[in-house]
Amino acid sequence: MKRIFTAYCSILVVFCVQVMQAGSQEQKEIKEGEVIKRSFTQSAIYPGTTRDYWIYIPHEYTPNKPACLYVGMDGIPYNAPTVLDSLLAAKEVPVMIGVFVSSGTVFDTNGDVIRFNRSNEFDKMDDTFARFILEELLPDFEKHRASDGRPLRLSKNPNDRMLSGNSSGAICAFTLAWQRPDMFRRVFSAIGTYVPMRGGNEYPPLIRKTEPKPLRIFLQDGTKDTWNPLFGSWYEANVLMESALRFAGYDIAHEWGTGGHDDKHAAAIFPNVMRWLWRDWPEEIKKGISANDMLQRIIDEEEPWEKVDLPFAPQELIANSEGDLFSYNAEGMVFKLDKDGQVTPLSPLPPGEKLRHFLHENKLCIHPFIHLFQEEDTHTALFPNHKLLMQTEMHSHWIYSSVIGDEGKPVYKQRWYWLHNTDNRDIAPVGNICFDTGGNLYAATAMGIQVCDQNGRVRAILTLPSGSITSVCFGGNGLRTLYAVSQGLLYKRKLNASGVTPDMPPIQLPPQGMG
């Protein structure tokens, strides 16, 4: 028995040695990437700022295949280079280059700090920091090479790009993807600052109202995260974000712990977060289906936005009851885009004349209220039953509603439609407005087409990756196509809704209730 036991022990020792050797051999196969530190001081978007950023270049990277991109805020988090080395060796994530950026700081001539830019850059909800990354930092990054001379080439596919950040860096990462889903699709948000510092608390309702974007998001926070008497609870804000993202149909995961406002929990789960974010790559991340009833009614999931090729850059859009569109270029030449897609030049706008006046005088789009209260830089629309007149207000997120009285004059004027303005703009210019046959108003705004119910509340928001929308109207066959102007380009999309135009007969429709 003693011999058998001794032999068994010998076999066990040999086995353990072999396992250790195998593990050691496997460990040797993990080859470290390179980290290069750089400084950037030439920002036109954030003038006067200085910031460091770090470039992680994995051993596996070869210039003949553009790498995926990982942009991290506030420097290098979660021991990311070491974790990426390990994940890449195990082939659990694709080859990616990391760009880890700090926020900007302004120094005086003595080298003393006179302004920290972090909150201004990270907490804002507009596209400023996205433009900084895409227009300034990444072009600077592309000038550099690895120490062995390898040029740095990145994939332009948004499916190959991810973002991460902690606290204000987390909301920054989310905002970059939210503003530019055409450039980023994967987000790791840790202890995110979705509180009322610069509007971040508006994200949950905005997510619920906006048509889903093709994003994959992992949220992390802890029950002992910051509670601030001015800004509220970070943890509760993250719970609201998770609920809103799930309602809106996003590919969302989360992990709530018991930690505070630090990155310990995030660092511990980072390897698994990366596996989850990059699972099934290179399969494209698809947008989900929202539980928003307004979106479900008006959106046809099989009909995405399409760019319309035109020989000119359209300005304002107006349609008639036949579905023909009218617009003009920067020189004032008026064009007609008929429902079959044919473009015909008409004649120049007389100096100082509005497009709607031109169409009225030339009998192309006629209605007796076309001239009512048409002030400079404002727009009007007639409710489908012709009993109400709507008018935008300059530099405001309000639209007025007036009752058309017995003598044909507007009375009982009220600020009625309240529009979102969460991109920190001092003024909120509203383009033209139009209605569908359900009595829902569509407004062209900087953050998308905001769709309001009869009681003046935004219920849905349709967006374009190209950004601000300056004009919107229904046109085409049966007025079933929504047209929008963005950045001088025309887009169209078929909806499960039909538009109405001022030259159509009144439509009687039931009210949507008190709300």
Q: Which of 220, 247, 277 is the last residue of a domain?
A: 277
Here the CATH number for the domain that contains residue 460 is 2.120.10.30
* Burial degree of 113 (CB within 10 A; 0-12, 13-18, 19+): exposed
Residues 173 and 42 in one domain: yes
Question: What pLDDT, on the 0 to 100 scale, is given for residue 357?
Answer: 78
Question: What pLDDT, on the 0 to 100 scale, is given for residue 164?
Answer: 98
Give a yes or no: residue 8 inside a domain: no
Of 142, 144, 165, 163, nearest to 154 by C-alpha is 142
Give a yes or no: residue 3 inside a domain: no
131 vs 127: CA distance, rounded Å: 6
Residues 362 and 492 in one domain: yes
507 vs 479: CA distance, rounded Å: 14
Residues 317 and 458 in one domain: yes
Of 41, 67, 42, 43, nearest to 55 by C-alpha is 67
Give a yes or no: residue 285 inside a domain: no
**Identity of the amino acid at 267:** A
3-state SS assignment for residue 269: helix
**Residue 32 CB coordination number (10 Å):** 11
Residues 255 and 331 in one domain: no
Give a yes or no: residue 17 inside a domain: no
Q: Which of 252, 277, 302 is the last residue of a domain?
A: 277
Give a yes or no: residue 301 inside a domain: yes
pTM of the model: 0.90
Question: Residue 290: what are its φ and ψ, rounded to 5°?
Answer: -80, 155
Residues 250 and 302 in one domain: no
Here the CATH number for the domain that contains residue 244 is 3.40.50.1820
Question: What pLDDT, on the 0 to 100 scale, is given for residue 374?
Answer: 56
Question: What pLDDT, on the 0 to 100 scale, is given for residue 204?
Answer: 98
Question: Residue 246: what are its φ and ψ, rounded to 5°?
Answer: -70, -40
Residues 297 and 151 in one domain: no
**Cβ neighbours of residue 477 closer than 8 Å, sequence gap 6 or more:** 323, 339
**Identity of the amino acid at 84:** L
Task: Give me the number of domains the chain comprises.
Answer: 2
287: which 2 tokens?
A: 């947008």
Residues 264 and 369 in one domain: no
Residues 188 and 227 in one domain: yes
Give a yes or no: residue 2 inside a domain: no
**Identity of the amino acid at 350:** P
Give a yes or no: residue 513 inside a domain: no
**Cβ neighbours of residue 157 closer than 8 Å, sequence gap 6 or more:** none
266 vs 220: CA distance, rounded Å: 7
Question: What pLDDT, on the 0 to 100 scale, is given for residue 23?
Answer: 47
Q: Give DSSP secondary structure letters for 461-492.
A: EE--TT----EEEEESGGG-EEEEEETTEEEE
Question: What pLDDT, on the 0 to 100 scale, is given for residue 1?
Answer: 45
Question: Residue 361: what are its φ and ψ, rounded to 5°?
Answer: -70, -30
318: which 2 tokens?
A: 């107006």
Residues 165 and 250 in one domain: yes
Question: What pLDDT, on the 0 to 100 scale, is given for residue 503?
Answer: 84
Q: Which of 277, 302, 318 is the last residue of a domain?
A: 277
Domain carrying residue 49: 30-277
Question: What pLDDT, on the 0 to 100 scale, is given for residue 340?
Answer: 84
- DSSP class of 334: E
Residues 326 and 235 in one domain: no
Residues 366 and 474 in one domain: yes
Question: What pLDDT, on the 0 to 100 scale, is given for residue 290?
Answer: 98
Residues making up the chain, counted from first to last: 515
Question: What pLDDT, on the 0 to 100 scale, is given for residue 452?
Answer: 97
Of 440, 441, 480, 488, nearest to 464 by C-alpha is 488
- DSSP class of 184: -
Q: Give DSSP secondary structure letters for 271-328.
A: HHHHHHHTTTTTSPPPP-----HHHHHHB-TT---EEEP-SS-----EE-TTS-EEEE
Give a yes or no: residue 515 inside a domain: no
Residues 333 and 222 in one domain: no
Question: Residue 5: what are its φ and ψ, rounded to 5°?
Answer: -65, -40
**Average pLDDT, 10 consecutive residues per value, the chain (515 residues):** 44 42 54 97 97 98 97 96 98 98 96 95 95 98 96 98 98 97 97 96 97 98 94 97 98 97 97 98 97 96 94 92 92 91 92 82 69 66 92 86 87 94 69 94 94 96 88 95 95 96 88 81
